[in-house]
Amino acid sequence: MTKQFRILYKVSIIILAILAAMLIGSIILMTIGADVFKTYLVILFEPLKTTLQLSEVLLRAIPLTIIALGISVAYRSGIINIGAEGQMAMGILGTTAVALAFPELPKPVLLPMAVLAGAISGGVWGFIPGFLKAKLQVSELLSTVMLNYIAAQFYTFLLRGPMLDPAELTMGSGTPQSMRLSRNLWLDRFLPGTRLHTGLFFALILALLIYFLLWKTKYGYKMRAAGASARAARYGGISVTWYLVIAMVISGAFAGMAGAIEIAGVHRRAIEGITGGYGFSGIVVALFGGLHPAGIIPASFFFGLLIVGADMTQRMVGVPANMVNVLQGIIILVIVATKMILADPYLMEKVWRKVQGLGKKTKEVTA
Amino acid sequence: MNFIVNILSLGIPFSVALLIASLGEMFNQRAGVFNLGCEGIMAMGAFLGMLVPYSIGQGGPTPGIYNVLGLALAMGVGALFGMLFGFVVVTFRAPQGIAGIGLQMFGVGTAGTLFRHFVGGTQSVPGIGNLPIPFLSKIPILGPIFFSHNILVYLAFLFVPTAWYILFKTPWGLRVRAVGTNPRAADSIGIQVNKVRYQALAVGGALAGLAGAYLSLCQAKMFSDEIIAGRGFIAVALVYFGHWHPVKIMGGALLFSLAQALQLAIQGQGINFPYEFAVMLPYVMVIVVLAFSRESQLLGPTALGQPFNREKRI
């Protein structure tokens, strides 16, 4: 097998995968009678046209990056965290609680404290499924999903009750939201006229941090070993269950921080629907980014683009914004299938023999 | 007494969606495939189930036919989704957990997209009404509890012995259990492992679609994005809880829905208890149940979650 063939094979598989994903998406789009080509064009290019829209894309990429980094740590350690949605909600609650309790603290104290509170709340919410998996073999897929629903209910309970804006109570308009959080919590918006905030740099720093953790420390090595082959890692003296729990705590803490950054930078008060699917998109971003920080950053930009673009299709071509969920679902299915095809040496060999056979036949014909 | 009759007669119809979906998931898992996308298939089923009577059956002379058509469409597309999942996890041998999440997002997203386009907002459908069984429904206490529900409730409970019979007494059931327990051995005696897995996925998908359609046609009589509310995931958990056995799964489904009915009844009595905590109850129950039934995993199909590669040695 020649090297050129190998590269050609892999590239054509990836191109086929992209085509397959777009084809399934097109079927759904055709069902609702939309202009397929124009819809893809709007989703992919419309948000890049103005600075304001571009800043909105980056704004969505910030929580996506942070969540996907956490999910990649868990995934590499052999545990799939689909509870980022709930962990993010708990992070928002933790941050809000601290900001409501100590509004007078100066910014250099309050901001780190509130973000830390968010990380701890998210981390606790990640610890539960990690512990259940390690000690009681409870499937993390089911427990994290259930914790999402529980967190969502807890979130609305607090927003409607203990954390409800006193102004809402007197005005009685009934919107479940907290009061506007202290100015000392706010992240600066550095691009005039947009909502883009300094959380962007925070996300980049976290990406570096994860890179160092996973590839430059022994803890990261042990986590990756536990994920790659739990039995081999256990034989090598690594406490797989311990690293599983740690990975879930990190994963949850990152989702919690994403929530903290999101309300400190964008909403500045806890309202309903902040998490809005970020937890699930984070899974797609992590997979799409190859579970590596260097891949996750561009991947989160791409999915930020999809989210903003899908919002615009509603107005421009009449395609509901839910289309982004459809695309994300397809992308997951296609990525996991493609990964397996690429990792299958038998299949590559089969194709190679076929190609060689074809070559021989054409030679015989010309001879 | 009246209170208990109320809870039971409320809880039994609640259990149907969970029961049907779990029975489908049981076939998947018995064949060795863990289908976490059940939630997505249910969402599609719920949408398609109400779409037919809503769009073409409006004001027609025989609404019953359109309901049946809706159920059939939900089951057909459900089976198709199950096979699509099979394409990813059986043919391409992708990891099943994460692929299931992909299917869930795809299903929920597609249902939401199509719903916004074809229906738009909250629209109710007449749905499938109750069908009290003559004479039997007149029996005090037992009548309202067991014999005054819609037809799908009776059918769902007939599914339990049927599923048991299919799984344990037919050649196909034996093949399903064989490919889920030891696919290599099954392969060596000439069973086409992947084909059986596809069949099981189609059956599971059809049942999940039916369960979704039950929610929109019989229970809510409308569709919304949150109509499934995690029931697909609870159904997957119930299969563990029910030790992969139809009768025990039925017990689990009843336990969950009676708890929900009890919660509703208590709310109805005006006892002051935060509504959100009441809604949390089934989700908390799932975690607790899974945590305290760890031995049950030893009873599961041994090849659960493992793709079968015929060409691989060992």
Q: Is A270 helix (H, G, I), strand (E, B) or coil?
A: coil
pTM of the model: 0.92
What is this model's ipTM?
0.91
Query: pLDDT value at position B195?
Result: 96
B2-122+142-299 adopts what CATH topology?
ABC transporter involved in vitamin B12 uptake, BtuC (1.10.3470)
Task: Enter the tokens of residue A115.
Answer: 């973000």
- Domains in chain B: boundaries: 2-122+142-299
- Establish, for the pair of chains A and B, how many residue pairs have beta carbons separated by less than 8 Å: 150
Q: In Å, what is the CA distance from B27 to each residue of B201, B202, B206?
A: 7, 10, 11
Q: What is the pLDDT of residues A150-206, one digit of tens each?
A: 999 999 999 988 888 887 777 766 778 888 888 888 998 988 888 999 999 999 999
Residue of B42, B93, B117 to mutate when probing chain A, most A C-beta within 10 A: B117
Inter-chain residue contact A153 with B279, CB threshold 8 Å:
yes
Of residues B130 and A291, the one with the higher pLDDT is A291
The verdict on a CB contact (< 8 Å) between B294 and A346 is no
CB contact under 8 A, B108 and A325: yes
Q: How many CB atoms lie within 10 A of CB B3?
A: 12
Which positions ≥6 away from B266 have C-beta within 8 Å?
Answer: B273, B278
Cross-strand bridge partners of residue A189: A197
Task: List the beta bridge partners of residue A90.
Answer: none
- Please give the pLDDT value at position A346: 82
* Selected residue with higher pLDDT from B129 and B204: B204
Contacts of B295 in chain A (CB under 8 A): none
In degrees and rounded to multiples of 5, residue B99 shows phi and psi of -65, -35
Position B57 confidence tier, pLDDT thresholds 50, 70, 90: low
Task: Report yes or no: B106 at the A interface, CB cutoff 8 Å.
Answer: yes
Q: What is the mean pLDDT of residues A21-26?
A: 92
Task: Give per-residue pLDDT as tens, B170-228.
Answer: 999 999 999 999 999 999 999 999 999 999 999 999 999 999 999 999 888 889 888 99
Distance CA A3, CA B143 (A): 75
**Band (B63; pLDDT cuts 50, 70, 90):** low
What's the confidence (pLDDT) of residue A315? 85
Range from A240-249, B102-111, B235-244, B264-273 carrying the lowest mean pLDDT:
B264-273
What's the CA dihedral at A203, A284, A46, B225 to 10 degrees? -110
Query: Percent of chain A scored above 70 by pLDDT?
Result: 98
Check CB contact under 8 Å for A333 and B286.
no
| Residue B181 pLDDT | 93
Using an 8 Å Cβ cutoff, are B201 and B33 in contact?
A: yes
Is the pLDDT confidence value at B314 over 60? no
Are B36 and A141 an interchain contact pair (Cβ–Cβ within 8 Å)? Answer: yes
Cα separation, A197 vs A202, in Å, equals: 10
Predicted confidence band at B4 (pLDDT cuts at 50, 70, 90)?
A: confident
Q: Minimal CA–CA distance to A64: which of A358, A288, A312?
A: A288
Which stretch of A334-338, B66-70, B109-113, B129-133 has the lowest confidence by average pLDDT?
B129-133
Q: Chain A window 123-152: which residues touch B at a Cβ cutoff of 8 Å?
A: 132, 136-139, 141-143, 145-147, 149-150
Contacts of B279 in chain A (CB under 8 A): 153
